[in-house]
């Protein structure tokens, strides 16, 4: 925690007496080990050492060993770490001072060395409650030197404070509880409800006060001073024009308070005594800058609608750029659209033709928050031109048409060709087939009826060879039977028809026919008729 | 054509929406932050027009950690955090008592106010980021979150603080630190501008 680190370890054997422990450290760029002050010959199982003299941003490695008399154990090396990343935020130091209805709080940041570079970043959160009613706690975020207001006089209040580094996501430990009694109410109360308004080139500081015949004075302080824990009570300065005023307001020029964060406070005095200071009012002069609504001009051209915004008057001491916002909507509907930009001319290229659009504009002053905006300008309505968009479409349409006509003709042509091809094919075989089957015998296969007759010869030859096979198989070898089918088919009656064995002929022929049928079985074309009736009866027996 | 017109309208509305969204993002505040940083660099340079010759002998190299920018793929948030580290450390240095006596008071308060503005902007942007990434918060909540890059930057400012202490905040030491911080600002400013263009 903070600058102090604690090293803890376990003893392996509790019963061994007179054992002490010692630790060394080594920084990242060192080669030798150095004795860790505060952790030498420790009889306990923990020791505390401080980083006051070391760089807390560098990696550190520790080692520790046990010792007894002259004998020592081996070193145990502790994982190296960066102290700054490991450190926890400790409790801050708190000092309280009571006022009648407020408590003045002074906080010293924790950790002299560890957090020395974070002193402006700490956020302090205070939990405060009435001592008699612990349940009604309230939590406030305060500056290191701040006031807690809205308390009751003559009451005991208790509080605790912790420091936080929100961006590093570190939350500290609460301080001890401090209590304080608020005092009896002062005869002269402090002014209340402080407000600042801007008017012309001036600021008007206003406050409420119940009593008459008093004078007031007001002071200011730079806001950034509050970030630091140092005493800034002597840095308050008188506001020019707000010294010894009898009214409950005073006026000072805007020029004297350029765009910054200030704190303002007011005090009342009746000559004999003075009141306490009022609540310190945060005052962002940038937030007070009055931005006037811009002047809006809308013009239609043949291509688009243009809007121009012009600031009617530059505010005093304006360091920041203005951002313009235009809201527009169709006159008939209520749906608004908006555009934000830094430039003063806006273009609306894609609006509907012949429609009335309405526009209004305002200016934003870029700041820490979006609370600085002008009012909207007057609403300007404008009708879009008929040609603006429709003429463009007409031209585009013609162009598209000119291009598309030849394309369409071409497509239709192609489509027709396809239809013709599928539904009305030409009776001629494709030319490619002629090309490939130009050889005669193959061509013959392709069945022109006139050529079919010559085919018989081939068939018969074929049949004959089959018959030879059949004969050879073993009917006993009659050569006549072999010859006769040829003669028969040729249609010429053989000379030796009286041969005793010629009876068997029809059988032989029919056998051949069967074979032929078998051979040509795969072909769908009807086989030329060689019927029994044709040849058979013609055979004289 | 009517359909196309409708689509254009939608695209246009999307465009409007995106612009509107960006405007509320912290990016838009960057415009402002850049302006503040530029203004502060100018103020720091204008404190004195030339570096005192008698201080040349004391010049020390504070080892500006340039490598943290060159090697790492810095994300937007990392850059913001680096700027935050630089700004707060510079702010703390110029808030030191020794500087109160050196410079003309108006000039010093201008620088202090300027740096405060710079810190406040960054703080606001970073806090916005934190609120957006609640899950990440859970992950880091135990040990706290601190970038190692920023650790390098912190060491760099630590060296400057040590230098000031060693030299007992002498005139030369303050001048050397002022020039060094200006150099650091301008280095990072140029680098951020380069990243934005990329």
pLDDT in tens, A327-358: 888 888 878 888 877 777 888 877 777 888 88
Same domain, A374 and A300: yes
The structure tokens listed for A393 are 């479409």
- Joined together, the tokens standing for residue A419 give 């239809």
The CA angle A212-A217-A221, to the nearest 5 degrees, is: 145
For tokens 């002053």, name the residue. Answer: A365
Q: Given CB atoms, is A235 within the 8 Å cutoff of chain B?
A: no
- What pLDDT shows up at residue A526? 45
In terms of C-beta density within 10 A (0-12 exposed, 13-18 middle, 19 or more buried), how is residue A405 classed? exposed
Task: Give the tokens for residue A199.
Answer: 């008017």
Quote the pLDDT of residue A506: 46
Q: Hey, are the CB atoms on A366 and B28 less than 8 Å from each other?
A: yes
Number of domains in chain B: 1
Q: Domain with A311 in it: what CATH number? A: 2.60.40.10
Q: Do A222 and B112 touch (CB under 8 A)?
A: yes
Strands A380-383 and A356-365: antiparallel
Domain that holds residue B158: 93-132+142-197
Residue where the block lists tokens 């081939």: A458
Q: How many residues does chain A have?
A: 541
A526 assigned to some structural domain: no
Q: How many CB atoms lie within 10 A of CB B24?
A: 12
Q: Is residue A158 part of a domain?
A: yes
A329 contacts chain B (CB < 8 A): no
A147 lies in which domain range? Answer: 93-181
Look at B117 and A121 and tell me if their CB atoms are within 8 Å. no
- Verify that A376 and A302 share a domain, yes or no: yes
Let me know if residue B115 belongs to a domain. yes
A39's tokens: 């952790």
Chain A with chain B: Cβ pairs closer than 8 A: 106
**A326-341 residues labelled b (16+ CB within 10 A) or e (exposed):** bebbeeeeeeebbbbe
Which residue in this structure is represented by tokens 């190299």?
A: B61
* pLDDT(A313) > 60: no
CA distance A183 to chain B (A): 35
A160 lies in the same domain as A197: no
Question: Does the residue B166 lie in any domain?
Answer: yes
- My answer on whether A458 and A475 are in the same domain is yes
> In terms of Cα–Cα distance, which of A156, A253, A124, A236 is closest to A201?
A253
For residue B38, tell me if it sits in a domain.
no
Residue A421 lies in a domain: no
The token pair at A433 is: 């087939």
Q: Which residue has the higher pLDDT, A219 or B16?
A: A219
DSSP A375: P
pTM of this structure: 0.62
A11 inside domain: yes
| Residue A433, domain member (yes or no) | no
Contact B95 A166 (CB under 8 A): no
Mutate to test the interface with B, among A2, A59, A167 (most CBs of B within 10 A): A167
Chain B residues 82-101 within an 8 A CB cutoff of chain A: 84, 88-89, 91-92, 95
Neighboring chain A residues of B137 at a CB cutoff of 8 Å: 169
Q: How far is CA B87 from CA A40, A58, A120, A140, B115, in A?
A: 41, 22, 11, 27, 7
Which residues have C-beta within 8 Å of that of residue A54, sequence separation ≥ 6?
A27, A60, A83
pLDDT in tens, B1-47: 555 555 555 555 554 444 433 334 465 566 677 778 888 888 888 87
- The domain boundary residue, chosen from A370, A385, A400: A385
Q: How many domains does chain A have?
A: 5
Dist CA B196 CA A334 (whole Å): 39
- Is B102 within 8 Å of B171 (Cβ atoms)? yes
Q: Running DSSP on this structure, what letter comes out for residue B178?
A: H
Interface of A with B in 370-389 (CB under 8 A): 370, 389
CA atoms lying within 13 Å on the CB side of residue B109: 13
Query: Is position B187 within any domain?
Result: yes
Does A443 have pLDDT greater than 70?
A: no
Q: Does the residue B44 lie in any domain?
A: no
pLDDT tens digits, B46-73? 877 778 888 888 888 888 887 776 655 6
In a domain, A527, yes or no: no
Claim to verify: residue A256 and residue A303 sit in the same structural domain: no
| Chain A residues whose beta carbon lies within 8 Å of the beta carbon of residue B37 | none
Judge whether B119 lies within some domain. Answer: yes
C-alpha of A9 from chain center: 47
Cα(B170)–Cα(B148) distance, rounded to whole angstroms?
A: 32
Mean of all residue pLDDT scores within chain A: 75
The reply to whether A424 falls in a domain is: no
User: Which of B91, B117, B145 lies closest to A120 in CB terms?
Assistant: B91
**A536 domain residue, yes or no:** no
Q: Using one digit for the tens of pLDDT, what is the confidence trace for A391-438?
A: 667 788 888 888 888 888 898 898 888 888 777 766 666 666 666 655
Residues A447-474 pLDDT 10s: 555 544 444 444 444 444 444 444 444 4
Q: Is A85 within 8 Å of B151 when comparing Cβ atoms?
A: yes
- Spatial distance between the Cα atoms of A236 and A263, rounded to a whole number of angstroms: 9
The verdict on a CB contact (< 8 Å) between A117 and B157 is yes
């Amino acid at each position: 925690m903070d600058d102090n680190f604690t090293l803890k370890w376990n003893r392996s054997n509790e019963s061994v007496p007179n054992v002490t422990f010692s630790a060394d450290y080594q920084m990242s760029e060192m080669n030798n080990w150095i004795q860790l002050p505060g952790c030498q010959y420790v009889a306990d199982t923990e020791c505390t050492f401080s980083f006051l003299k070391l760089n807390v941003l560098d990696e550190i490695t520790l080692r520790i060993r046990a010792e007894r008399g002259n004998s020592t154990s081996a070193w145990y090396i502790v994982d190296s770490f960066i102290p700054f990343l490991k450190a926890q935020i400790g409790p801050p130091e708190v000092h309280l001072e009571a006022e009648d209805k407020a408590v003045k709080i002074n906080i010293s940041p924790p950790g002299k060395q560890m957090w020395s570079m974070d002193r402006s970043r700490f956020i302090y959160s205070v939990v405060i409650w009435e001592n008699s009613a612990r349940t009604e706690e309230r939590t406030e975020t305060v500056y290191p030197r701040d006031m807690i207001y809205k308390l009751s006089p003559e009451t005991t209040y208790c509080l605790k404070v912790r420091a936080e580094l929100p961006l590093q996501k570190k939350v500290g430990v609460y301080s001890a509880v401090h209590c304080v009694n608020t005092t009896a109410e002062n005869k002269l109360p402090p002014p209340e409800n402080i407000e600042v308004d801007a008017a012309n080139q001036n600021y008007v500081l206003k406050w409420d006060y119940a009593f008459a015949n008093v004078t007031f004075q007001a002071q200011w302080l730079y806001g950034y001073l509050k970030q630091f824990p140092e005493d800034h009570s002597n840095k308050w300065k008188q506001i020019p024009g707000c010294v010894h005023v009898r009214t409950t307001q005073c006026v000072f020029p805007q020029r004297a308070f350029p765009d910054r964060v200030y704190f303002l406070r007011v005090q009342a005095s009746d000559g004999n005594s003075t009141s306490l200071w009022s609540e310190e009012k945060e005052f962002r002069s940038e937030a007070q800058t009055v931005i006037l609504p811009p002047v809006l001009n809308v013009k239609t051209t043949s291509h688009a609608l243009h809007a121009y915004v012009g600031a009617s008057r530059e505010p005093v001491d304006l360091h920041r750029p203005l951002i313009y916002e235009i809201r527009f909507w169709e006159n008939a509907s209520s749906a608004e659209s908006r555009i934000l930009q830094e430039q003063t001319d806006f273009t609306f290229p894609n609006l509907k033709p012949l429609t009335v659009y309405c526009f209004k504009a305002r200016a934003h002053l870029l700041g820490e928050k979006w609370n600085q905006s002008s009012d909207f300008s007057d609403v300007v309505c404008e009708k879009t031109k008929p040609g603006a968009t429709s003429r463009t479409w007409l031209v585009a349409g013609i162009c598209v048409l000119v291009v598309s006509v030849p394309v369409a003709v071409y497509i239709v042509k192609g489509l027709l060709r396809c239809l013709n091809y599928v539904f009305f094919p030409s009776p001629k075989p494709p030319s490619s087939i002629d090309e490939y089957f130009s050889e005669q015998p193959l061509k013959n296969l392709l069945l022109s009826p006139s050529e079919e007759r010559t085919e018989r010869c081939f068939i018969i030859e074929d049949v004959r060879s089959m018959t030879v096979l059949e004969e050879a198989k073993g009917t006993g070898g009659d050569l006549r039977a072999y010859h006769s089918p040829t003669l028969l088919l040729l249609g010429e009656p053989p000379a030796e028809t009286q041969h005793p064995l010629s009876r068997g002929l029809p059988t032989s022929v029919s056998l051949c026919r069967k074979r032929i049928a078998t051979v040509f079985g795969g072909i769908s074309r009807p086989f030329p008729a060689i019927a029994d009736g044709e040849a058979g009866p013609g055979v004289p027996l | 054509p009517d359909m196309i017109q409708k689509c254009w309208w939608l695209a246009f509305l999307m465009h409007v929406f995106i612009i509107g969204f960006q405007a509320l993002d912290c990016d838009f505040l960057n415009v402002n932050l850049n302006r503040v940083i530029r203004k502060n660099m100018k103020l720091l340079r204008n404190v004195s027009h030339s570096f005192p010759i008698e201080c040349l002998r004391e010049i020390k190299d504070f080892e500006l950690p340039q490598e943290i920018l060159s090697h790492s793929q810095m994300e937007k948030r990392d850059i913001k955090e680096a700027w935050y580290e630089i700004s707060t450390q510079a702010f703390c240095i110029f808030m030191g008592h020794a500087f109160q006596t050196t410079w003309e008071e108006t000039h010093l308060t201008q620088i202090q106010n300027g740096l405060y503005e710079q810190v406040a902007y960054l703080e606001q942007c970073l806090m916005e980021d934190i609120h957006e990434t609640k899950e990440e918060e859970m992950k880091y909540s135990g040990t706290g979150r601190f970038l190692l890059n920023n650790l390098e930057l912190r060491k760099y400012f630590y060296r400057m603080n040590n230098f000031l202490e060693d030299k007992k905040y002498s005139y030369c030491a303050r001048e050397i630190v002022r020039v060094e911080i200006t150099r650091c600002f301008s280095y990072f400013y140029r680098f951020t501008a380069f990243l934005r263009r990329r």
